[in-house]
Amino acid sequence: MPLGQKFDTLKFAWRFFWLPKAAVADCNSQIMRALSETLWNVASPREIARASTIEQHRSALAQNQREVEFLDFGAGARAEGYPSQDIDAGVGSKRRISEITLASKSPFWGRLLYKIVRLTGARNCVEMGTSLAISASYIASALPRDGKLITMEGAPAVADIAADTLRTLVPDREVEICVGPFQDTLGDVLEKMAPIDFVFIDGHHEQAATEGYCRQLLPHMQRRGVMVFDDIRWSPQMLLAWKNISNSIAGTCLDLGSVGIVLLA
């Protein structure tokens, strides 16, 4: 196992074994099984084959030095000092595909997303933050035949590469890429996909936006639906967003370090 994956496993194990007893007691059996199987690397032959194919594609992207137009609508652009009006329109820059690949979720977290979707039987899934569609491929691979994933990406050039990824890795699943800033596209996605069984929020990375997306999503979520928030320790503001969400939402909240999971009541 590569060193990065070992580190992910160790961090996850520490968080997993120190989950509050009340949260574990409230957690449904499918989610606990997903967490446990991810930690102990329990996988079916089908899952192993799917993951191997996805990771081979990731490796190819990681070696691709072609530059594409990247648009930043969130925390990265704000940290560089761009004004809000520029960020809302998207701050453009040229980035190598290999560089963009580095931001994709690691194989460890990809397996967890896969297991949550498969074991809960989620059919209507939404991802906010497609990037190159590595995590989307894990999610889509776990869908039942009648399931659907809409994944949202702000940069058209990046979405084009993601579409190639999805055609290559999950041609047998229904996946749609919605291109545009979240604030412009989320409403239509929610109308199309409600009630939503599973959502993975992996974009923008700002407190106000994350809390706002959560409020916007909640009325469209299925009872006992699952919300996964990525990068909750990206910044002090993102951690505060997670704390505010976990303190106010009706459901069970699991803090797994870099990822927060909400199991709605």
The model's pLDDT over 111-134, given as tens digits with 9 standing for 90+, comes to: 999 999 999 999 999 999 999 999
Q: Where are the domains of the chain?
A: 3-52+105-264, 59-101
Question: Token pair 């190159």 is at which residue?
Answer: 132
Judged against a pLDDT cut of 80, whether residue 158 lies above it is answered with yes
Q: What is the pLDDT of residue 261?
A: 97
pLDDT above 60 for 1: no
> Whole-prediction pTM value?
0.93
Angle, vertex CA 10, rays to CA 7 and CA 16, nearest 5: 140
For the chain, the residue count is 265
Residue with tokens 């055609």: 167
How does residue 80 score in pLDDT terms, banded at 50, 70 and 90? low
In 184-200, which positions are buried (b, 16+ CB within 10 angstroms) versus exposed (e)? ebbeebbeebeebbbbb
Rounded to the nearest 10°, the torsion over CA 40, 44, 46, 48 is 30
d(CA 34, CA 15) in angstroms, rounded, equals: 15
* Architecture of the domain made up of 3-52+105-264: 3-Layer(aba) Sandwich (3.40)
- Pairing between strand 196-201 and 174-179? unpaired
pLDDT reading at 24 higher than 80? no
CA distance 111 to 182: 25
39 exposure class (CB count in 10 Å sphere: 0-12, 13-18, 19+): middle
Residue 12: its H or E element: helix 3-17
80 CB neighbour count, 10 Å cutoff: 11
